């Protein structure tokens, strides 16, 4: 006897969320490219917004997939999304300004083949599997690219592998203080992998409501943006990092507050230090 997931339909259809998420993520990623055009780093915070929009899309995909009962659990879906996404994202960074589009295409191919493998070779035969895994790989790649843009100011391979370190007061170029060389990509990987599956995992149950789940996704996205912005202090200039941090904190505070209000709306009762109520004589 274990937990039953009951699917409650309703809310905005998945297709709309997918298109909205994809478009806004790509727009936000390209807005960070303004950094290159204007030779500053002030637009890095758009990377964080790209993360939030991609996660909103991705968490809804996980809801669609896991509602069929894949038998293993929700966190595995997040892991495979980001496992395939990180590989696609690293190749896509080689394509310069076309990196987000490249990430979309490469991740879609990888996700499609993984979906085919799961559905046909592993015989899972779930109708939404192929599309869901394709979408999740794309979400994984774009989220990681968003983190990279937030922390380093750009999404090309050169930006992600170079950094500077001060040696005796002089700035020396070092690959060890960089997004990839310093291992920050591992942190972004797990931040995204947990954030993408947490909203559905934490709100599943008979009383699942779409707006509450999506608000939680936004909250997870902004929370990840806060810590990523703190990590970016080491790699981009203080003003830009501070801007990302402030945007993240404001976004997080708002969405967290909204989430608590929505939970209050949906809960059976909101008690403070009260006894267990009597429910049918148990």
Partner 1 sequence: MSAVAAKPQAGGAMNPTAMGVGVVMLLIILALCWYVSPGIGLMALIGIIIGGVLIGFGTHFVPVGGAPAAMGQAPGIATGVAMLAAGAGLAGLFGGAWAAEQGLVVATITGGVGGGLMMAITCMMVNFVYVFGMGIPAASGKVLNDPITGDSQKEFKSQGTEGHGLPFVSFVGGVIGGFLAGAGGTIIYLQLLTLYEATLPVVMRLPATQVLPIAVAMAGMFAVGLFLVNAVLTAYNITGTIEGPHDPKFKRWPRAIVASAVASALCGFVAILIVAI
Partner 2 sequence: MEQIVFGIGITALTGALATIAGSAEDTESNIGSQGDPNSQVQLAPQMGFVHRIFNKAVAGEPPAYGLWCALGAGLAWAFMAMQINAVLAIVLGCVLAVFVQGVYATTSYLGRTASLAKFGQPVYVDILKSMTSVTMAHAFIAIFCVVTLCHLINSALGHPFPLPLLGLIWGIALGAAGSATGNPYYGKERQYQNQKFGAGVPISASGNIVRYAEAGERNSLDNGFFTHKIGGSASGVCFGLIVFLEIWRTVLFEQVSAGWGAIVVGILMILIFTVADRYIEVWARKNYGPYTEVKVES
Judged by the rule CB under 8 A, the positions of this chain that interact with partner 2 are: 1-4, 73-75, 78-79, 165-166, 176-177, 181-184, 186-187, 189-191, 193-194, 197-199, 201-209, 212-213, 216, 219-220, 223, 227, 230-235, 256, 259-260, 262-264, 266-277, 279-280, 282
251 Cβ neighbours under 8 A, 6+ residues apart: 52, 218, 221, 222, 225
With CB cut-offs between 5 and 8 Å by kind, which of partner 1, partner 2, none does residue 106 bind? partner 1
Q: Which structure tokens are listed for 11?
A: 């809310």
| 184 vs 262, beta carbon nearer partner 1 | 184
| 132 vs 195, beta carbon nearer partner 2 | 195
For the bound state, the minimum distance from the C-beta of residue 116 to partner 1, rounded and expressed in Å, comes to 8
| 37 vs 274, beta carbon nearer partner 2 | 274
Task: Report which secondary-structure segment, H or E, holds 219.
Answer: helix 210-232
Query: Is there a contact between 204 and 5 (Cβ–Cβ < 8 Å)?
Result: yes
- CA triple 251-252-254, angle to 5 deg: 70
For the bound state, the minimum distance from the C-beta of residue 211 to partner 2, rounded and expressed in Å, comes to 12
In sequence order, the β-bridge partners of residue 255 are none
| 19 vs 122, beta carbon nearer partner 1 | 122
For the bound state, the minimum distance from the C-beta of residue 31 to partner 1, rounded and expressed in Å, comes to 26
| 1 vs 273, beta carbon nearer partner 1 | 1
For the bound state, the minimum distance from the C-beta of residue 258 to partner 2, rounded and expressed in Å, comes to 12
Query: Is there a contact between 173 and 161 (Cβ–Cβ < 8 Å)?
Result: no
For the bound state, the minimum distance from the C-beta of residue 79 to partner 1, rounded and expressed in Å, comes to 4
Question: What distance, in Å, lies between the first and last C-alpha atoms of the chain?
Answer: 19
What does the buried/exposed string (b/e) look like for 48-72 if buried means 16 or more CB atoms within 10 Å of the residue's CB? Answer: bbbbbbbbbbbbbbbbbbbbbebee
């Amino acid at each position: 006897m274990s937990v039953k997931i009951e699917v409650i339909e309703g809310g905005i259809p998945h297709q709309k969320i997918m298109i909205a998420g994809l478009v806004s993520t790509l727009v936000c990623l390209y807005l960070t490219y303004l950094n290159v055009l204007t030779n500053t780093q002030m637009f890095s915070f758009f990377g964080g917004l790209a993360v939030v929009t991609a996660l909103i899309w991705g968490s809804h995909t996980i809801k669609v997939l896991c509602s069929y009962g894949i038998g293993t659990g929700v966190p595995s879906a997040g892991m495979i999304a980001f496992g395939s996404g990180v590989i696609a994202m690293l190749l896509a960074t080689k394509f310069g300004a076309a990196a987000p589009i490249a990430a979309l295409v490469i991740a879609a191919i990888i996700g499609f083949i993984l979906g085919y493998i799961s559905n046909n070779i592993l015989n899972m035969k779930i109708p939404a599997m192929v599309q869901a895994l394709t979408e999740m790989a794309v979400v994984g790649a774009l989220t990681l690219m968003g983190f990279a843009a937030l922390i380093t100011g750009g999404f090309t391979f050169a930006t992600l592998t170079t950094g500077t370190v001060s040696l005796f007061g002089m700035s020396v170029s070092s690959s060890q203080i960089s997004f990839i060389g310093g291992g920050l990509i591992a942190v972004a990987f797990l931040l995204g992998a947990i954030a993408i599956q947490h909203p559905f995992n934490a709100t599943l149950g008979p009383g699942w409501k779409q707006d509450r789940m999506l608000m939680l996704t936004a909250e997870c996205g902004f929370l990840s943006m806060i810590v990523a912005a703190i990590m970016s202090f080491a790699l981009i200039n203080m003003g830009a990092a501070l801007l990302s941090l402030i945007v993240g904190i404001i976004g997080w505070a708002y969405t967290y507050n909204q989430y608590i209000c929505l939970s209050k709306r949906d809960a059976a009762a909101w008690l403070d230090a009260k006894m267990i109520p009597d429910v049918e004589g148990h």
